[in-house]
Amino acid sequence: MNPKPTADYPVRKPKFQFSDSVPKHWCGGNASLTHVLNAWTILFPEGEKYFIRTVQKYVPRLKEGQVKRNAIAFVGQEAQHAGEHRKFWRNLKEQGYKFEGFMNFVVWFAFDLLERIFSERMNMAAVAGLEHYTSLVADLGLRSGLLKPAHPEMRRLFEWHAAEELEHKSAAFDVLKEVTESYWIRVTGMCIASGIFFTFTLVAVLIFLWQDGILFRFKTQKELFRLLFTKEKVLPLTIAAAFRYFRFSFHPDQEDNLHLAEEIFSQQEHQYREAI
Ligand SMILES: [Fe+2]
Ligand SMILES: [Fe+2]
């Protein structure tokens, strides 16, 4: 008898506990980099719930096969990410940050307004585009060693999440391909994703830096400039990767980065309890 076919990846269940010893600028004392990562920590839980809602609408309609199995595993992985990132909200609040108003706006604008306005297919295209960005920043984070000076718990959280983003980078794209072959829907979804991703990340970073009272400090501007343009070159690399997505023949599997994920899994393997 053939073994039951499985998804290309499991749903791991690491459990994080963020102690009060995690400092405010937990990524090597670099406030700007820390707040980019904090921005995603507040945006991911609602964003990933949106990914899950969108993909789950299509799961019953997908053909039996690898795309469907991977879509189900994708939902499982994103649910874990959302839950673990949300745990750090307690630390952020205890550190004095206020972001409920911003998150209420994000939820209203992105999920009460845009999600309802767009068709199911356009929402799926936006999710595929956003997943391109999460795998892109995951690649950047793991390849550049940006997370090495981070507090160990936060480093482990982001490395696990980044590795799984690389692992399931094709899941939403493959669902979209099965739903529609339209290049224009894919590209329009990517434009929506770009607007949402860059705007919400930037505003959240500015809010955190403002609340620290260091938004206009020279050191902060220098950190941001190095991160975006000269050292890690996040902005040109991100824009280049966004344009790769516009190639007619693009597929996420063309991005050579799975080895980065495998390195993390082999380091962290003993900490996972697999759900499926
Ligand atoms: Fe995720
Ligand atoms: Fe993802």
Q: 219 C-alpha to center of ligand 1: Å?
A: 31
- pTM equals 0.94
Q: 83 C-alpha to center of ligand 1: Å?
A: 10
Q: 2 C-alpha to center of ligand 1: Å?
A: 32
Q: 109 C-alpha to center of ligand 1: Å?
A: 21
Q: 204 C-alpha to center of ligand 1: Å?
A: 18
Q: 71 C-alpha to center of ligand 1: Å?
A: 13
Q: 51 C-alpha to center of ligand 2: Å?
A: 8
pLDDT in tens, the chain (276 residues): 556 678 889 999 998 999 999 999 999 999 999 999 999 999 999 999 999 999 999 999 999 999 999 999 999 999 999 999 999 999 999 999 999 999 999 999 999 899 999 999 999 999 999 999 999 999 999 998 899 999 999 999 999 999 999 999 999 999 999 999 999 999 999 999 999 999 999 999 999 999 999 999 999 999 999 999 998 888 898 889 888 999 999 999 999 999 999 999 999 877 775 544
Q: 228 C-alpha to center of ligand 1: Å?
A: 22
Distance CA 262, CA 267 (A): 9
Which ligand number lies closest to the CA of residue 134?
2
pLDDT score of 271: 72
Q: 246 C-alpha to center of ligand 2: Å?
A: 19
Which ligand number lies closest to the CA of residue 167?
2
CA distance readout (Å), 148 to 20, 143, 159, 237, 275: 20, 11, 10, 20, 28
Q: 78 C-alpha to center of ligand 1: Å?
A: 5
Which ligand number lies closest to the CA of residue 130?
2
Q: Could you write out the three-class secondary structure of the chain?
A: CCCCCCCCCCCECCCCCCCCCCCCCCECCCHHHHHHHHHHHHHHHHHHHHHHHHHHHHHHHCCCCHHHHHHHHHHHHHHHHHHHHHHHHHHHHHCCCCCHHHHHHHHHHHHHHHHHHCCHHHHHHHHHHHHHHHHHHHHHHHHHCCCCCECHHHHHHHHHHHHHHHHCCCHHHHHHHHHCCCHHHHHHHHHHHHHHHHHHHHHHHHHHHHHHCCCCCHHHHHHHHHHHHHCCCHHHHHHHHHHHHCCCCCCHHHCCCHHHHHHHHHHHHHHCCECC
pLDDT score of 276: 44
Q: 37 C-alpha to center of ligand 1: Å?
A: 13
